[in-house]
Amino acid sequence: MPWVVTVPEYVLTLLVAAAVTYLLTPLVRRGAIAGHVMHAARDRDVHVVPIPLLGGLAIYGGLAAGLLVAAQLAPLRTVLQGDRMAAGLLLAGGLIVVVGVVDDRWELSPISKLAAQAAAGGILVWSGAQLSWLPEPGTGDGSLILTPNESTALTIFVVVATINAVNFIDGLDGLAAGIVCIASIAFFVYYYRLTQLKHLPEQAGPALASAVLIGACLGFLPHNFYPARIFMGDTGSMLLGLLLAYVPISSIASLDPASLHGAVNRFPEILPLLLPATILVIPYADLLLAVVRRTRAGTSPLAPDRKHLHHRLLDIGHSHRSSVLIMYLWAALFSGTIVWLSVTRTPLFTLAVTTVAAVLVLLLMSMPRLRWWEHGRHDRAATARAAAAAAAQGRGTAALPTLGAGAPAAAGGAAAAASAPSLAAPTSSAPAASATAPAEPDRSAPSPSVPPQPAPGRSTHGRPESAPSPPLPVPSRPPVMPARPR
């Protein structure tokens, strides 16, 4: 073999992509704030304040830096010179980034974005990454050769589906970047093992693309993990989806299906498609469920809602951070299982038992209602809360007679006040009385020498103001207090 790409070359490319993405992200954030490219909180969102967008620009910068460094390393330079890999990724990624920036700032229609995604898929086909064959077990060479038109249509369909799958799971801080990073790690392990075990140098290209994608995700995650300081937006989610679709497509395009025999554990004919389908099972499953759900509801498959898998984790009681970590574990389980199956000679029974045990553990972590050992504790807590509420209600009922005893007195006082006419104004019968007899002076008015002594329950009719009566003598006995009404 004329050249061998070793781990240090991949690691260097990964680190450069991560460092450039990490350093560019704060600059992109400032630009987004200055340009008012902000993601306002909506009903289906989990954040409550506007967050800057355009994080995909930093990811694209990391991609370009990683490919530039790879072109300077002798073994990887041979990989890039063998096809149009760098040109295809930069051109298709550039188109996606431009459309994403416009969408993040002014919002494009779904049809416009679909057209741009299909055009990006066409650029990948031009670069040589296309699904020219499909695994077909039972045939002589184990493959089904596609016509050029079929190959182009299928490649564009896979690219568009993967882009939208990643876009759909970009609903929590760090979720899309983390799941894409886990998938890329699985792809890298598989393709690197193929270059080492079976000496397949053509698989160095997919391994390089996986390493660059890992670096870009790792560089962006510190800024995007909860609580996020910047969102990748459609610029980043569509770019990550494009790169994630390119990795398995370029592998199948450059792989001879007969070369897999003896290089993998079992089922070599279907592993080229089983691997990406299993690694990307979470984005694809969320995409499929969303399309079916929205179609049954009579809405557009691209219409947004709040019923994605990560939203369901939040609805059953998980926090933002724990929901993201649970999705990470599910992605690691699926991708790790299939890679383990493909590169090791593990007995199927051991693999099955381990996988089932991991699935059960993750189910218990994801769904609290399945934790049977906590049911008794929850029941006791509910019983204690019910008893406390009943005791509080009983104390409130015991206090009601005391309040009721004072109520009649207050009512009686109100009735007495209502039956006694106002001392400041005449009653309704006052005009008739004043027409037949002179009125006495208003004794309710205070006197500087004699304090007023109103008698409760008696009506005071005064004489006309023109003939006031002489002042009353000061009583020798103490003033009579108003009687308590009964």
Contact (Cβ atoms closer than 8 angstroms) between residue 128 and residue 150: no
Residues 6+ apart with CB under 8 A from 444: 423, 424, 452, 454, 460
| 3-class state of residue 51 by DSSP | strand
Return d(Cα 109, Cα 376) in angstroms, integer: 52
Question: Which span out of 141-150, 224-233, 337-346 was modeled with the highest average pLDDT?
Answer: 224-233
Say if strands 38-39 and 51-52 run parallel, antiparallel, or are unpaired: antiparallel
Return d(Cα 205, Cα 250) in angstroms, integer: 8
Tell me the DSSP string of 198-212: S--GGGHHHHHHHHH
What is the residue extent of each domain of the chain? Answer: 7-374
Give the global pTM.
0.70
Q: Looking at residue 105, what is its pLDDT?
A: 92
Residue 229 has pLDDT above 90, yes or no: yes
Residues 6+ apart with CB under 8 A from 226: 172, 173, 174, 320, 321, 324
The residue ranking higher by pLDDT, 130 or 346, is 130
Q: What is the pLDDT of residues 152-171, one digit of tens each?
A: 999 999 999 999 989 888 87
Contact (Cβ atoms closer than 8 angstroms) between residue 482 and residue 410: no
Q: Which of 98, 31, 104, 26 is nearest to 60 (CA)?
A: 98
Return d(Cα 311, Cα 42) in angstroms, integer: 14
Q: What is the pLDDT of residues 130-155, one digit of tens each?
A: 888 876 655 555 577 889 999 999 99
Residue 232 has pLDDT above 70, yes or no: yes
Phi and psi of 102, rounded to 5°? -60, -40
The residue ranking higher by pLDDT, 4 or 374, is 4
**Mean of pLDDT over the chain:** 76
Q: Looking at residue 34, what is its pLDDT?
A: 94
User: What secondary structure letter does DSSP report for 345?
Assistant: -
Q: What is the pLDDT of residues 175-191, one digit of tens each?
A: 899 999 999 998 999 88
Return d(Cα 331, Cα 283) in angstroms, integer: 9
Q: What is the pLDDT of residues 27-73, one digit of tens each?
A: 999 999 999 999 887 666 666 788 999 999 999 999 999 999 999 99
Question: Which span out of 39-43, 217-221, 300-304, 321-325 was modeled with the highest average pLDDT?
Answer: 217-221
Range in 61-70, 450-459, 474-483 with the lowest mean pLDDT: 450-459
Q: What is the pLDDT of residues 359-387, one digit of tens each?
A: 677 666 656 665 555 556 556 666 777 77
Q: How far is CA 366 from the centre of its chain?
A: 16
Across residues 93-117, what is the average pLDDT? 94
Give the burial string for 168-200 (b: 16+ CB within 10 Å, else e). Answer: bbbbbbbbbbbbbbbbbbbbbbbbbbbbbeeeb
Return d(Cα 455, Cα 57) in angstroms, integer: 90
pLDDT bucket at 256, cuts 50 / 70 / 90: confident
Return d(Cα 49, Cα 31) in angstroms, integer: 18
